[in-house]
């Protein structure tokens, strides 16, 4: 098969706050006429394009940053002149078209595109994610079809302009090859792993750690995901001189430095995405995760449970107390939830916000496969409710979900469909609702604004700029302060930090750019405050945005003006674990959205259609649902398979256990002895897997179990000693090995069984 794009290779540096990346795209024409190749990709989180270099036999050229209209004009003039031309242009939802035109017959052209991208920060490390494919995403007015076995998707031009999406293939094995080789800088790494790819790691004490794809090549059907865990959770500040005499800095402050959370009652709505693309393991895991999360609530807490596809369904029209009956009701409700339909996320958030009223949290569990995200962000901002997001998927919607959480003051996590969704959900839930700090302010020209609140497990990232003589940045919050030492650093780090900060600011502003406004004619856009700010930020930082694009034209001997190049759109692999049929399964008319339909055909066209035998029928809204999801692979890819498999199995047991907690915090049982004994065993079962009162995903559950044990009064001296041992274990994290999970789950476990193991 002749491929217009043959290779995509990711290289570059990853710092603790983001990556400075270079993506190599190799295009080749095996045709007997010039080609115009269009490659589409999504931007990672907090990302922006900086520049590209285009090379081939006997030439090399660098891109220029121009206002988008000018860039398009320059590109078109280059094509008309018969010259090689390349254009990198950004559209809504962070989608990019890289177009390279007039690639001559039998010629190979390489484009090296520099991209700045953020990372998902955690107290003890970070997750780096880079898209090798693009997820098809639901839009109420999308049009889909299957052509020669490939899925085709079109988005409305009034929102997405002339964006061209790739065709999607179920089997990516015959598409272009992908791979990566990255170096990790400024990091003392304890663990490094990838749940998405096989990697080889080269660690050098004196230099950066290098990580590369282990096989020679891979296929474009999923994101690259790298997990980095630091040797130590501590404040990290990167800084260095930049060209303008200032010193940009980036500071990562772990949440543990802000103190403990308060114990006020929580108000939370769990909002589950039941759209067709969630079918299979993701929705099964999400159901279990919600049950486990609800078990972490006490009777003083109030909760709501909603699911959405094209419609929103609620367990109850108002918040309810987390009693045994209501949790049972939630369990029954969840059993009836299967995956189907579209992803009307904004409607879900609006309904959840209405139920919460003026205060509370929403936890969304979704694959985020939705288009028109700027509109959703606007709706969500309007609710003034905090939203936390748990994303699930092999192809990145990370940019959208991280924005959704950040813009509302929440936190987000994004896992692959082959990791344990339920564990991450429980961990995220434990930090929601009770911020460890709020009212943050920083000295040193901190921009963007610090987050409204800090949550356990997620550090604060501050970007700023200070003069060369300053050595400290002061961070204050309600009831606390911290002095951060800023190193003098080197120019390379300073430049990287300056660019990453610019990419973050551009991402934030673009999320406030309504889609229709962004594709309006230039005269109208010139009146837009957001457009003006984007142009300003692009020029200041030398980065592309929706208003500024990258273009290069290479004039060469033998250019043939006026020759029409043949357009080729690079196909991509359907994201691993997303069913092809969820988007492209049925007859095209059945998966069209009703809103796109109009009967206003001109007589001539209508007559032509009737002559051709086309029958008109109003399209249906529902997506096809029968899907296939591959079995999940072990979560801990850095561990040997047998260990990883055991870890996954024990985590599954803990999720089941967590879901069993009674509203008073104890385990269920026929009498008080059984309840007490099973509760002690449950504490040990969590502690033996590393979960204590303050650590691990199940810290809330351990706290509730400990609370129940403390409330017990009518017990013997021997039983009191067992309770104290359990409480000590919950605090200190030490416990003797034993079949604690089996005892905790066993309905007949009694005091003597616990004593027998401890002896």
CB of 110 to another protein, least distance (A): 21
Binder to another protein among 519, 569, 623, 655 (CB under 8 A)?
Answer: 569
CB of 598 to another protein, least distance (A): 6
Q: Which residues pair with 141 in a beta bridge?
A: none
CB of 568 to another protein, least distance (A): 7
608 is a contact residue toward another protein (CB under 8 A):
yes
C-alpha distance from residue 2 to each of 6, 100, 231, 328 (Å): 9, 17, 47, 57
Distant-in-sequence contacts of 301-304, Cβ < 8 A, 24+ apart: 301/265, 301/266, 301/267, 301/268, 302/265, 302/266, 302/267, 302/268, 303/266, 303/267, 303/268, 303/269, 303/270, 303/330, 304/268, 304/269, 304/270, 304/352, 304/355, 304/356
The SS3 of residue 77 is: helix
233 is a contact residue toward another protein (CB under 8 A):
no
Nearer to another protein, 533 or 568 (CB): 568
- How many residues of this chain bind another protein (CB under 8 A)? 51
Report the C-alpha gap between 377 and 513 in whole angstroms: 10
- Give me the sign of the Cα torsion angle 455, 458, 460, 461: negative
Nearer to another protein, 142 or 461 (CB): 142
Binder to another protein among 336, 612, 642, 716 (CB under 8 A)?
Answer: 612
42 is a contact residue toward another protein (CB under 8 A):
no
Nearer to another protein, 359 or 603 (CB): 603
Q: Pick the stretch among 74-82, 302-310, 641-649, 721-729 that binds another protein (CB under 8 A).
A: 74-82
628 is a contact residue toward another protein (CB under 8 A):
no
CB of 103 to another protein, least distance (A): 14
587 is a contact residue toward another protein (CB under 8 A):
yes
Report the C-alpha gap between 112 and 727 in whole angstroms: 58
Nearer to another protein, 439 or 587 (CB): 587
CB of 566 to another protein, least distance (A): 6
Nearer to another protein, 598 or 642 (CB): 598
600 is a contact residue toward another protein (CB under 8 A):
yes
Nearer to another protein, 80 or 491 (CB): 80
Q: Scanning residues 157 to 196, which ones bind another protein (CB under 8 A)?
A: 161-162, 164
The tokens for 336 are 């009836």
143 is a contact residue toward another protein (CB under 8 A):
yes
**By CB neighbour count within 10 A (0-12 exposed, 13-18 middle, 19+ buried), where does 79 fall?**
buried
The tokens for 284 are 């099964």
Binder to another protein among 568, 678, 691, 701 (CB under 8 A)?
Answer: 568
Q: Pick the stretch among 215-223, 422-430, 583-591, 715-723 that binds another protein (CB under 8 A).
A: 583-591
Expressed in angstroms, the distance from the first to the final Cα of the chain is 68
607 is a contact residue toward another protein (CB under 8 A):
no
Binder to another protein among 609, 630, 732, 736 (CB under 8 A)?
Answer: 609
439 is a contact residue toward another protein (CB under 8 A):
no
Report the C-alpha gap between 416 and 350 in whole angstroms: 27
To which residue do tokens 């991280």 refer?
402
Report the C-alpha gap between 169 and 152 in whole angstroms: 9
Nearer to another protein, 105 or 357 (CB): 105
84 is a contact residue toward another protein (CB under 8 A):
no
CB of 170 to another protein, least distance (A): 12
Nearer to another protein, 480 or 619 (CB): 619
Report the C-alpha gap between 425 and 429 in whole angstroms: 6
716 is a contact residue toward another protein (CB under 8 A):
no
Q: Pick the stretch among 343-351, 411-419, 597-605, 723-731 that binds another protein (CB under 8 A).
A: 597-605
Q: Pick the stretch among 5-13, 72-80, 467-475, 627-635 that binds another protein (CB under 8 A).
A: 72-80
Q: Pick the stretch among 108-116, 264-272, 351-359, 581-589 that binds another protein (CB under 8 A).
A: 581-589
The SS3 of residue 461 is: strand
Asked whether the beta carbons of 302 and 320 are under 8 A apart, the reply is: yes
Report the C-alpha gap between 149 and 489 in whole angstroms: 54
Asked whether the beta carbons of 14 and 235 are under 8 A apart, the reply is: no
Upstream peptide bond of 448 is cis (omega within 30 degrees of 0): yes
CB of 80 to another protein, least distance (A): 7
Binder to another protein among 173, 336, 469, 599 (CB under 8 A)?
Answer: 599
Question: What are the helix (H) ranges across 168-320?
Answer: 281-295
598 is a contact residue toward another protein (CB under 8 A):
yes
Helix (H) or strand (E) holding 534: helix 529-541
* Site mask for another protein (CB under 8 A), range 103-142, x = bound: ----------------------------------------
The residues, any chain, with a CB within 8 Å of residue 134's CB and separated by 6 or more, are: 40, 41, 42, 95, 165, 166, 395, 572
Which residues contact another protein by CB under 8 A?
Answer: 33, 36, 38, 72, 76, 79-80, 99, 143-149, 152, 154, 161-162, 164, 560-569, 584, 587-589, 592, 596-602, 604-605, 608-609, 612-615, 619
């Amino acid at each position: 098969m002749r491929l217009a794009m043959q290779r995509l290779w990711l290289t570059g540096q990853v710092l603790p706050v983001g990556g400075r990346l270079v993506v190599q795209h190799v295009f080749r024409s095996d045709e007997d006429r010039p080609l115009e190749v269009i490659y589409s990709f999504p931007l990672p989180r907090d990302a922006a394009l900086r520049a590209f270099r285009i090379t081939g036999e006997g030439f090399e050229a660098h891109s220029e940053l121009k206002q988008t209209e000018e860039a398009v004009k320059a590109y078109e003039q280059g094509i008309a002149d018969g010259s090689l031309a390349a254009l990198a242009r950004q559209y809504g939802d962070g989608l990019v078209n890289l177009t390279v035109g007039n690639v001559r017959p039998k010629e190979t052209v390489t484009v090296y595109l520099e991209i700045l991208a953020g990372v998902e920060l955690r107290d003890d490390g970070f997750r780096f994610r880079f898209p090798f494919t693009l997820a098809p995403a639901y839009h109420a007015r999308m049009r889909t079809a299957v052509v020669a076995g490939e899925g085709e998707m079109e988005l409305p031009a009034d929102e997405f302009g002339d964006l061209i999406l790739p065709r999607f293939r179920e089997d990516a094995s015959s598409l272009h090859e992908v791979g990566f080789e990255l170096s990790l800088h400024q990091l003392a790494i304890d663990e490094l792993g990838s749940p998405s790819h096989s990697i080889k790691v080269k660690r050098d004490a004196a230099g950066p750690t290098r990580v590369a794809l282990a096989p020679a090549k891979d296929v474009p059907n999923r994101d690259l995901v790298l997990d980095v865990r630091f040797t130590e959770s501590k404040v990290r500040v990167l800084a260095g001189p930049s060209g303008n005499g200032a010193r940009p800095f980036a500071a990562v402050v772990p949440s543990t430095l802000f103190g403990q959370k308060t114990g006020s009652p929580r108000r939370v709505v769990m909002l589950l995405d039941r759209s067709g693309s969630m079918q299979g393991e993701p929705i099964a895991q999400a159901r279990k995760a919600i049950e486990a999360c609800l078990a972490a609530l006490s009777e003083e807490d109030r909760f709501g449970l909603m699911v959405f596809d094209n419609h929103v369904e609620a367990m109850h029209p108002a918040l309810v107390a987390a009693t045994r009956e209501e949790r049972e009701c939630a369990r029954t409700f969840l059993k009836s939830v299967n995956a189907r339909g579209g992803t009307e996320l904004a409607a879900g958030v609006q309904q959840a916000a209405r139920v919460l009223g003026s205060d509370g949290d929403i936890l969304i569990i979704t694959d985020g496969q939705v288009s028109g995200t700027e509109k959703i962000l606007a709706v969500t901002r309007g609710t003034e409710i905090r939203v936390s997001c748990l994303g699930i998927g092999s192809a990145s919607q990370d940019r959208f979900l991280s924005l959704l959480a950040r813009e509302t003051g929440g936190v987000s996590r994004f896992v692959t469909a082959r990791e344990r969704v339920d564990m991450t959900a429980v961990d995220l839930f434990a930090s929601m609702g009770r911020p460890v700090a709020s009212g943050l302010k920083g000295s040193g020209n901190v921009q963007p604004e610090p987050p409204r609140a800090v949550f356990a497990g997620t550090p604060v990232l501050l970007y700023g700029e200070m003069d060369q003589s300053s050595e400290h940045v002061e961070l204050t919050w309600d009831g606390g302060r911290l002095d951060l030492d800023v190193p003098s650093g080197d120019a390379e780090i300073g430049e990287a930090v300056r660019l990453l900060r610019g990419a973050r600011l551009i991402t934030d502003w673009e999320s406030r750019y309504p889609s229709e406004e962004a594709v309006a004619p230039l005269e109208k856009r010139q009146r837009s405050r957001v457009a003006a700010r984007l142009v300003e930020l692009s020029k200041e930082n030398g980065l592309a945005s929706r208003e500024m694009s990258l273009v290069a034209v290479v004039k060469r001997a033998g250019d043939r003006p006026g020759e029409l190049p043949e357009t080729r759109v690079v196909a991509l692999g359907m994201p691993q674990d997303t069913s092809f049929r969820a988007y492209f399964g049925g007859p095209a008319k059945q998966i069209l959205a009703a809103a796109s339909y109009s009967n206003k055909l001109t007589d001539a066209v209508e007559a032509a259609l009737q002559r051709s035998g086309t029958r008109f029928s109003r399209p249906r809204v529902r997506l096809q649902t029968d899907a296939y999801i591959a079995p999940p692979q072990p979560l801990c890819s850095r561990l040997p398979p047998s260990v990883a498999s055991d870890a996954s199995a024990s985590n599954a047991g803990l999720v089941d256990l967590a879901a069993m907690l009674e509203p008073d915090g104890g385990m269920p049982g026929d009498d008080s002895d059984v309840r007490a004994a099973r509760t002690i065993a449950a504490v040990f079962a969590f502690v033996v897997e590393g979960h204590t009162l303050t650590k691990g995903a199940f810290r809330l559950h351990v706290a509730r179990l400990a609370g129940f044990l403390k409330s017990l009064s009518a017990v013997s001296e021997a039983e009191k000693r067992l309770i104290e041992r359990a409480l000590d274990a919950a605090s200190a994290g030490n416990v003797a090995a034993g079949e604690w999970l089996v005892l905790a789950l066993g309905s007949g476990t009694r005091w003597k069984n616990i004593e027998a193991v401890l002896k």
